[in-house]
Amino acid sequence: MSSSPAEMMIVAAARALSNDDVCFVGIGAPSAACNLARLTHAPDIVLIYESGTIGARPSVLPLSIGDGELCDTALTTVSVPEMFGYWLQGGRITVGFLGGAQIDRFANLNTTVIGDYNRPSVRLPGGGGAPEISAHCQRVFITMSMGRRAFVDPLPFMTSFGHGQGGNHRARLGLKTLGPTEVITDLCVLKPDPQTKELTVTSLHPGVTQEEVSAACGWKLQFAADVAETPPPTEEELAVLRQLEERTQRAHAAAG
Amino acid sequence: MAAFSKLSEAIAANVHDGDVVALEGFTHLIPYAAGHEIIRQKRRDLTLIRMTPDILYDQMIGMGTAGALKFSWGGNPGVGSLHRFRDAVENGWPRTLRLEEHSHAAMACAYQAGAANLPCGILRGYLGVDLPKVNTAIRQIECPFTGERLAAVPAIRPDVAIIHAQRADRAGNVFLEGIIGVQREAVLAAKRSVVTVEEVVDDFGSRSPNAVILPRWTVTSIAVAPRGAFPSYAHGYYKRDNTFHKAWDAHSRDRETFLSWMKQNVL
């Protein structure tokens, strides 16, 4: 089976998760990746959605972070203040999985505005849970498609703090968590340089060239000394992902 | 003490022009019927509060109900932008909308502070990000014990909180379950509250001793509104209409299409 770039992205993102993770799940590509992980190599992963559902095991992907499917399959459901207070700020989450509209070279995210805040050319939804997810999870994975309008430097607005200006900026703010450790795109995987924290391409998806990745990025992109090739999706990964997406489409087409 | 009335009477009695109004519901139990009644009664210059303004607030903003919005995430979850919200912020249509923008963690804290009768909520939040530069309601305090710098936000104290719940009993106690969001905090933080319910029952019957119940003396008005959360959902009654959530994108993209949709379906 051959895979699309979007499928490669979800599969690569799913592989970043382990069976022991307690994961705070963003909607969209992160949710697909987290559930693919749960349905393949990480059956015991704990998925937490900000609506308060802890240990959700949805059989179809939710459209929103609060679909009934999440509550119906969760171990327990808590209130939103409890979710953000005890569970997220309380330090109980190992991985936060985020998407975003725009990202910069230090993995800071913008989901607030394009243009000036008071006179935006595009008003985006805003931060939601992301600023504190980025601060309080032990580490953060980000998944988003590459393109020059999405990978920009500087960001017009910093909604969620990744590595700030780089180096030890997180530590200087008193943040004890690792922040973004992996950015998984439809073309490649990037990781922050251990010292500078600038995002560096560490793995290219099959058939993707360094030139293509550079052309899809708004800043001069750094590559690791030994760039790997991402293993292509296995038959099982693709089959499970496609079944999940089929079930999801059928379920969302059926009205309440 | 909770009084039962028709929805139109509950809104007329409790929601006035210029009020600070929180219609809460975190994807689940969104009080659509009550919001639509506010639109029909042509309330103006409301300060709307909600963590996740989605289609209902898009409709209220597009119909000119709101003068200000306090929020933390304004979108159609899993679908995309709220076009009426965007039009108001980007172009001032149908009127300008003042924003007070927070993160979810801060809004949740501010509701809790309101319910607990404290002046502000405190959190370890907003570190390094830009929102405090554009929102003067986000400040810093120093912990008197450790010296740690923490974020503080003012408590949310709405004039009226409006929620939808599964059931009320005949005495006016309110029962809700499933994803409960910040509804309890919103009601306890507000001066007045309106609760719409799927049904009124003689008795809640067997339940967990920890069931979420708002006692009747915390609620101002109750109105029966079957399917009053639709196209959102009510756990145990009906499902979220995800097809409608996707279709809203087309209904709302254009001003004229939006207005004729509202005329046909809400007014």
d(CA A234, CA A238): 6
**Residue pLDDT, tens place only, B127-145:** 999 999 999 999 999 999 9
Distance from the A234 Cα atom to the nearest Cα atom in chain B, whole angstroms: 27
pLDDT at A255 over 60: no
Rg (C-alpha) for chain A, rounded Å, is 18
Quickly count helices (H) and strands (E) in chain A: 8, 14
| Residues on chain B touching A161 (C-beta within 8 angstroms) | 127-129
Mean pLDDT (chain A, rounded): 95
Contact between A256 and B128 using a beta-carbon 8 Å cutoff = no
Closest CB from B105, B127, B235 relative to A84 = B105
Q: Any bridge partners for residue B161, and if so which?
A: B22, B193
Q: What is the mean pLDDT of residues A158-181?
A: 97
Q: Is residue A197 part of a domain?
A: no
The domain tally of chain A equals 1
Q: Looking at residue A224, what is its pLDDT? A: 97
And the tokens for A213? 């990745």
Q: Looking at residue A100, what is its pLDDT? A: 87
DSSP summary character for residue B218: G
d(CA B241, CA B41): 26
Task: Tell me whether the omega of the peptide bond preceding residue B94 falls within 30 degrees of 0, making it cis.
Answer: yes
Q: What is the mean pLDDT of residues B44-68?
A: 98
Q: Looking at residue A76, what is its pLDDT? A: 97
Task: Using alpha carbons, list the distances in angstroms from residue A133 to A60, A138, A161, B107.
Answer: 24, 9, 10, 14
Chain A interface test: which of B28, B32, B84, B235 (most A C-beta within 10 Å):
B28
Q: Looking at residue B155, what is its pLDDT? A: 98
Contact between B105 and A129 using a beta-carbon 8 Å cutoff = yes
d(CA B121, CA A208): 49
| Residues on chain B touching A159 (C-beta within 8 angstroms) | 129-131
d(CA B105, CA B112): 11
Q: Looking at residue A28, what is its pLDDT? A: 78
Kindly state the helix (H) or strand (E) to which residue B176 belongs, with its residue range.
strand B174-176
d(CA A26, CA B136): 28
Closest CB from A28, A50, A164 relative to B128 = A164
Q: Residue B102 half-sphere exposure, CB side, CA atoms within 13 Å?
A: 28
And the tokens for B56? 């209902």
Nearest chain B Cα to A114, which residue?
B90
**Residue pLDDT, tens place only, B141-185:** 999 999 999 999 999 999 999 999 999 999 999 999 999 999 999
Q: Where are the domains of chain B?
A: 3-45+157-265
Q: Looking at residue B131, what is its pLDDT? A: 98
Q: What is the mean pLDDT of residues B110-125?
A: 98
User: Hey, is the C-beta of A106 within 8 angstroms of any chain B C-beta?
Assistant: no
Return the number of other C-beta atoms located less than 10 Å from residue A60's C-beta.
Answer: 18
d(CA A160, CA A155): 11
Instruction: Tell which wins on pLDDT, A2 or B123.
Output: B123
Q: Write out the residue range of the structural domain in which residue A173 sits.
A: 5-185+232-253
Q: Residue B69 half-sphere exposure, CB side, CA atoms within 13 Å?
A: 30
SS3 call for A16: coil
Quickly count helices (H) and strands (E) in chain B: 9, 13
Active-site residue A7, yes or no?
no
**Residue pLDDT, tens place only, A5-33:** 999 999 999 999 999 999 999 877 899 99
Q: Is residue A205 part of a domain?
A: no
**What are the helix (H) ranges across chain A?**
5-15, 29-39, 68-73, 80-82, 130-136, 169-172, 210-215, 235-253
Distance from the B135 Cα atom to the nearest Cα atom in chain A, whole angstroms: 11
Which listed CATH number (3.40.1080.10, 3.30.70.1520, 3.40.640.10, 1.10.1040.50) goes with B3-45+157-265? 3.40.1080.10
Q: Looking at residue A108, what is its pLDDT? A: 98
SS3 call for B90: helix
Q: What is the mean pLDDT of residues A176-196?
A: 98
User: Hey, is the C-beta of A179 within 8 angstroms of any chain B C-beta?
Assistant: no
Question: Which domain CATH number covers A236?
Answer: 3.40.1080.10
**Band of the pLDDT at A171, cuts 50, 70, 90?**
very high
Contacts with B, A 31-90, CB within 8 Å: 50-53, 62-68, 70-71, 77, 79-81, 83-85, 88-89
Q: Describe the crossing of helices B32-40 and B55-62 by its angle, rounded to 10 degrees.
A: 0
Kindly state the helix (H) or strand (E) to which residue B197 belongs, with its residue range.
strand B192-201
Closest CB from A129, A161, A164 relative to B104 = A129
**Which of B200, B133, B211, B197 has its CA nearest to residue B166?**
B197
d(CA B122, CA A110): 24
Rg (C-alpha) for chain B, rounded Å, is 18
Nearest chain A Cα to B125, which residue?
A132
**Band of the pLDDT at A133, cuts 50, 70, 90?**
very high
**Residue pLDDT, tens place only, A45-100:** 999 999 999 999 999 998 888 889 999 999 999 999 999 999 999 999 999 999 98
d(CA A170, CA A106): 11
**Band of the pLDDT at A252, cuts 50, 70, 90?**
confident
Q: Which residue has the tokens 């607990």?
A: B116
d(CA A245, CA A43): 18
**Residue pLDDT, tens place only, A205-228:** 999 999 999 999 999 999 999 999
Closest CB from A28, A126, A253 relative to B78 = A28
User: Hey, is the C-beta of A127 within 8 angstroms of any chain B C-beta?
Assistant: yes
Q: What is the mean pLDDT of residues B27-45?
A: 98
Interface pTM, i.e. ipTM: 0.96
DSSP summary character for residue B76: B
Phi, psi of A154 (to 5 degrees): -80, 165
Percentage of chain B beyond pLDDT 90 is 98
Contacts with B, A 216-255, CB within 8 Å: 251-255
Q: Is residue A246 part of a domain?
A: yes
Return the number of other C-beta atoms located less than 10 Å from residue B143's C-beta.
Answer: 11
| Residues on chain A touching B79 (C-beta within 8 angstroms) | 63
Percentage of chain A beyond pLDDT 90 is 91
